[in-house]
């Protein structure tokens, strides 16, 4: 029997957020609050960078001390900006990736841990993949065009994350080629797929970085074992934290292949994100905690001395 849940890590896009809309629903907001009140820590684990994710959590009423695993695990900090962990891609690896990724026709972006234009760098906004135009508009104040992209690294700055986004088939080909050429030892690859949109985001992270590894480090600091941790996600970039956590929950709207994977491993499948799936899971966890608190403690016989 698993011990009570003490920490819950939750993805944002496709999980905490409904597919239509950029705000957490009222039911989910209340569920997050009740979870904290029950003494269970809520951690956010997202592919978004900190400044792109923070407004969502602030509107949802999350306290400033909320821990956020950002950029798929390369940066961990509090909602209030307090740093926890920070990792970067080696300079030469980053520069080399610019050239080897061009033949795959996707949009390549590098993210840096700094504010303002240049926080994210790409070669041409005019040539971005059509499916990420909305993302470009939402992040325009942080984007900078540099051509050729290799010049981004002339000042010696190391990025916290690279990514290439494009058609599902092309991005699978890109990942397969990178692995076949030995890049799997130089970068951590995390794939987020949206088959209905024919879009894949392939994140290229510092070696050893993932949501799962960031979550394991955080739990160790709390003195928690994997069995005391729940992870909730909807896509392949959540896989490593789902595998590490003692209780894995995949959203009903998750990537089809991930849902099949969940079934094969006996993971719980939550209702869809447009049905407040996260709220329903949190409500059940809090109810379980309340039941445990109300259960009478069995008396044990005193041992005679």
What does residue 167 show for φ and ψ, rounded to 5 degrees? Answer: -65, 150
Prediction pTM value = 0.91
Residue that has been written with the tokens 């999350």 in this structure: 62
Q: CB–CB of 203/187 below 8 Å?
A: no
Please report the pLDDT score of residue 304 as a whole number: 30
Question: In which element (H, E) is residue 256 found?
Answer: helix 256-265
HSE of 99, CA atoms in CB hemisphere, 13 A: 6
Q: Where are the alpha helices (DSSP H) in 12-144?
A: 26-37, 50-59, 91-101, 133-138
For residues 287 and 125, give the distance between their C-alpha atoms in angstroms, rounded to a whole number: 48
Distances (CA, A) of 294 to 37, 196, 281, 291: 16, 46, 20, 5
pLDDT tens for the 305 residues of the chain, in order: 789 999 999 999 999 999 988 899 999 999 999 999 999 999 999 999 999 999 999 999 999 999 999 999 999 999 999 999 999 999 999 999 999 999 998 999 999 999 899 999 999 988 786 778 888 888 999 999 999 999 999 999 999 999 999 999 999 999 999 999 999 999 999 999 988 889 999 999 999 999 999 999 999 999 999 999 999 999 999 999 999 999 999 999 999 999 999 999 999 999 999 999 999 999 999 999 887 766 654 433 333 32
Contacts 24+ apart (CB under 8 A), 121-129: 121/145, 121/146, 121/149, 121/152, 122/146, 122/149, 123/147, 123/148, 123/149, 129/165, 129/166, 129/167, 129/199
Structure tokens at 258: 């991930």
């Amino acid at each position: 029997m698993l011990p009570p849940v003490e920490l819950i890590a939750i993805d944002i896009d496709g999980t905490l957020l409904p597919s239509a809309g950029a705000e957490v629903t009222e039911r989910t907001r209340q569920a997050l609050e009740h979870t904290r009140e029950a003494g269970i820590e809520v951690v956010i684990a997202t592919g978004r960078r900190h400044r792109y994710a923070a407004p969502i959590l602030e509107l949802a009423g999350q306290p400033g001390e909320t821990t956020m695993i950002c950029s798929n695990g390369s940066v961990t900090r509090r909602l209030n900006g307090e740093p926890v962990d920070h990792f970067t891609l080696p300079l030469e690896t980053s520069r080399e990736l610019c050239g080897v990724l061009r033949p795959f026709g996707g949009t390549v972006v590098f993210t840096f841990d700094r504010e303002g234009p240049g926080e994210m760098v790409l070669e041409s906004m005019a040539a971005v993949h059509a499916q990420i135009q909305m993302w470009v508009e939402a992040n325009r104040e942080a984007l900078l065009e540099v051509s050729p992209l290799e010049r981004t690294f002339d000042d010696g700055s190391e990025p916290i994350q690279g990514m290439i986004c494009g058609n599902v088939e092309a991005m699978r080909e890109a990942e397969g080629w990178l692995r076949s050429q030995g890049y799997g030892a130089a970068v951590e690859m995390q794939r987020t797929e949206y088959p209905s949109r024919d879009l894949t985001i392939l994140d290229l992270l510092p070696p050893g970085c993932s949501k799962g590894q960031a979550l394991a480090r955080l739990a160790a600091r709390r003195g928690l074992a994997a069995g005391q941790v729940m992870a909730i996600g909807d896509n392949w970039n959540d896989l490593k934290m789902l595998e590490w956590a003692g209780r894995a929950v995949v959203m009903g709207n998750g990537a089809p292949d991930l849902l099949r994977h969940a079934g094969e491993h006996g993971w719980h499948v939550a209702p869809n994100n447009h049905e407040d799936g996260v709220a329903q899971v949190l409500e059940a966890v809090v109810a379980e905690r309340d039941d445990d608190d109300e259960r009478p403690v069995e008396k044990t016989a005193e041992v005679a001395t």
